[in-house]
Amino acid sequence: MKNIMNISYASNISRLFLIALFTSLSFSLYAEEPDVRPAPNLITDRSLGLTSYQQAGKYDPRFDVKTDVVMVYGVSDEVLDSLPEWRQKSGSRVAIMTGIAWGGYVEYLNGDFDGVNHWDDSQVKADNSQMLHGPQTPYLSPSVAFTDYLSARLRKLIDAGIDEIYLEEPEFWAFTGFGDSFKREWKIFYNEDWIRPDSSCDAQYRASKLKQHLYRRALDRVATSLKEYSLKTYNRPLKIYVATHSLVSYAQIQMVSPESALLDLPGIDGIIVQTWTGTARFGNFYNGKFGERTFEVGMLEYGVMQEMTRGTQKRVYYLNDPVEDNPGYDWNDYKRNYLCTLVSSLLRSGSYYYEVAPWPSRVFLGAYPSGSPDASRIPKDYATTLSLVFQQLRDMNQPDVEWLDKSQVNSKVSVDDAVKGATEGIGVLLADSSMYQRANPTDTECGTAEPNDPLLPSYNELRSLTDFTGLTFPLIKHGVPVDVPVLDNVTRYPGYLDPYKVLVLSYDYQKPSSPGIHAVLADWVSRGGSLIFVDSRKDGYNNARDWWNSSKPSYKTPGDHLLTSVGLQPDQASGKYSFGSGHVYVERKRPSYFSRSSENADEYRKLVAEASLEAGVKFIERNYFLKKRGPYLLAATLEESISDAPLTLNGSFVNLFDPNLTIQNEVTVNCGERAWLLDLDQVTAKAPTVLASSCRIESLNNKEEDVIVETTSPSGICASTLIKLESQPSAILVDGAPAENVRWDEISKTLFFQFQSTGNATLTIKK
């Protein structure tokens, strides 16, 4: 993240091993059957690495949120000196995070490292000014010399015992590419003299391709050299992760990054998906209106990274941020948008690893809006809620996952199949090349249009990536959990498209990396899939030099090659066509057309519904999302949807966003609201067990006369805990003193209490 700054799909053998491991340990991460591990399970070992946070500077107990991993930020000597304190006081596994595109690297830039001035490695804009992340901190064009420098700095941290490194934000701005270092790299990569990236769509496209290559190379060199050093010197395996925005985010904000190319690097063990309020609030169009739609963008951001890493052995952390890099908002704004991203990440259930907060110091110690006379520190209740959420995120490896209709929640009667679940198997493909078309001369060569031109986008539509959201928002807004498979993965992994019945594709804002992609798509259609190809044939980037126009036969557009691969003419008109057992729908419109009015969005949804029916998928539209993950329910009621009706659920629930953890028999999620509920009717854990807590539960010892619970938490918060017991206790003591705000619920057999945390506490529950 600016100013800062895993989905493991184990083999069957690994899963069986881990299930067996459960029988000899007091916890299990990878339980395959719902009855193997009690739920909730809030006593987990830190070695599992389920949660993390990143922080610069010295340790402070006020923002130590007790995750499994702490990523101390930077590579300076001061960071090196701080490691013993972090290890001793946090109790967490200590890792290192540092930027790979920018950072405190003045010694390298000034030549103090190797005697050579490296300021020409800066990313440079068209006006010859440097693109700066901060004073004396340019974004870098990563030369071989820079990777050697960064590797040398990180080796010192390996010498200090670090065995886990996070390289943050490999970012090359799309509108840069005018610096001397980049010009040299162009000569090496293309074997020709540099061309101004803004001179043509071809030049911009090829410049972006080179930018992706440079950061792919940089990560490969750093990771490989460090892993070799750690093994050779200490016989110690080293894990290396990349913290990166989503493909959706980078395409939106005009950046180029490796993205799916990371999957080809054996030295990279996983990623952190840096999606948060600051990325997901990026403005966009729907029904002709421009505005923030944080929840919907969050669904797309986490969704594309879930699909990018699906089927790999790369660990994936989902990041959320209770504040953000912009300090100008108030706590109400931060909270509303945080809950949007949190719930959207939980609805994308492909991962159960989380970075719970970047810079928790700014969450627990900052005052907002910054500089305002009304600036205030975090509200007491919200600090409790956040601490509670951070701990509950360690319990999301739940094998029982499904989309629900509201009638399925604790239903006492049979539910008709027609109302079950949600529409699954629909994907809108997104390619790495969506990052290649995001800077000048995009506007001049692609053309801008009058608002109702179906073939050309407006300037604002281009800038906000409306071609992509025009194909996704109409579905998300009607409760369809559309996935975002990565086009580049189609030829990377056999069977990658098998989970899908309907695929939507356009080459108006991206291009395919190889002709082999079309062979796979053609095979997928022939086996019964429905492919919707929305493409105007008017995009200026069709003229970029690449495989479709650089050999014989030559094609005007990559879409022309796709259509010939499914037996159609290159310029095939709009219509529905059969191919094998499947169908191809050609729609000669610019995708942004479907964002311009509710009528246009309805037209698109009708097309997707027809394609779904042909593929054997029931197209279900709702104004909410509802998902079960073990004993948890995730819910979101949508704005700008088919209605503003609230979602009402009946049962026995604990609202995990409520600092008082009140038990509710009816929960209403109003339009625009999100909810994370613990469904007490689905709890399998036997008493005594902690159901929810804003403390980390280190241990629970059930003795004959009392229950002893050891906890840790950030100091200074009001800690809330809800425990399931066999009967009402006679007393609850916190470090020997009576707890505050004690509440017993006889029906659910649960005890709630609060206390002021000083960091560590022993809870004694007298039977």
Domain check: are 369 and 440 in the same one? no
Please, which residues bridge with residue 755 across strands? 719
How many angstroms separate the CA atoms of 454 and 461, rounded?
Answer: 12
Domain check: are 380 and 441 in the same one? no
How many angstroms separate the CA atoms of 481 and 79, rounded?
Answer: 43
The domain boundary residue, chosen from 614, 631, 656 = 614
Domain check: are 156 and 104 in the same one? yes
Domain annotation covers residue 5: no
Q: Residue 11's pLDDT is what?
A: 34
Query: What DSSP string describes 201-264?
Result: HHHHHHHHHHHHHHHHHHHHHHHHHHHHHHHHHH----EEEEEE--HHHHHHHTEE--GGGGGG
Q: Is-contact 715 365, C-beta < 8 A?
A: no
Tokens read off for 189: 């990569």
Domain check: are 440 and 345 in the same one? no
The domain boundary residue, chosen from 548, 583, 614 = 614
Domain annotation covers residue 262: yes
- Number of structural domains (the chain) is 3
Which one, of 485, 477, 509, 483, lies nearest residue 593 by Cα?
509
Count the Cβ atoms, other than its own, within 10 Å of residue 623.
20
Domain annotation covers residue 557: yes
How many angstroms separate the CA atoms of 174 and 197, rounded?
Answer: 9
The domain boundary residue, chosen from 583, 614, 645 = 614
Per run of 10 residues, the mean pLDDT along the chain (length 767 residues) is: 35 33 32 57 96 97 98 97 97 97 96 97 97 95 98 98 98 98 98 96 97 98 98 98 98 97 97 96 96 98 98 96 96 98 98 98 98 97 98 96 92 59 95 95 63 86 95 98 98 97 98 98 98 96 96 95 98 98 98 97 98 96 97 98 97 98 97 98 95 98 95 97 96 94 96 96 96
Domain check: are 356 and 230 in the same one? yes
- The CATH number covering residue 196 comes to 3.20.20.70
- The CATH number covering residue 494 comes to 3.40.50
- Give the helix/strand (H/E) hosting 181: helix 180-190
Q: Residue 555's pLDDT is what?
A: 97
pLDDT digits over 381-434, tens only?
Answer: 999 999 999 999 999 999 999 999 999 997 655 556 556 689 999 999 999 999
Domain annotation covers residue 487: yes
Length of the chain: 767
Q: Is 394 helix (H, G, I), strand (E, B) or coil?
A: helix
Domain annotation covers residue 406: no
Query: Alpha carbon of 560 to those of 152, 208, 413, 511, 546: distances in Å?
Result: 49, 23, 52, 12, 14
Domain check: are 390 and 457 in the same one? no
How many angstroms separate the CA atoms of 730 and 432, rounded?
Answer: 61
Domain check: are 373 and 280 in the same one? yes
Q: Is-contact 463 538, C-beta < 8 A?
A: no
Domain annotation covers residue 401: no
DSSP letter at 331 equals: H
How many angstroms separate the CA atoms of 286 and 461, rounded?
Answer: 11
- The CATH number covering residue 709 comes to 2.60.40.1180
Give the position of tokens 């959420």.
Answer: 389
Provide the residue range defining the domain that includes 727.
689-766
How many angstroms separate the CA atoms of 405 and 415, rounded?
Answer: 9
pTM score, two decimals? 0.94
Query: Is 664 exposed, middle or buried (CB count within 10 Å of its CB: 0-12, 13-18, 19+)?
Result: middle
Domain annotation covers residue 676: no
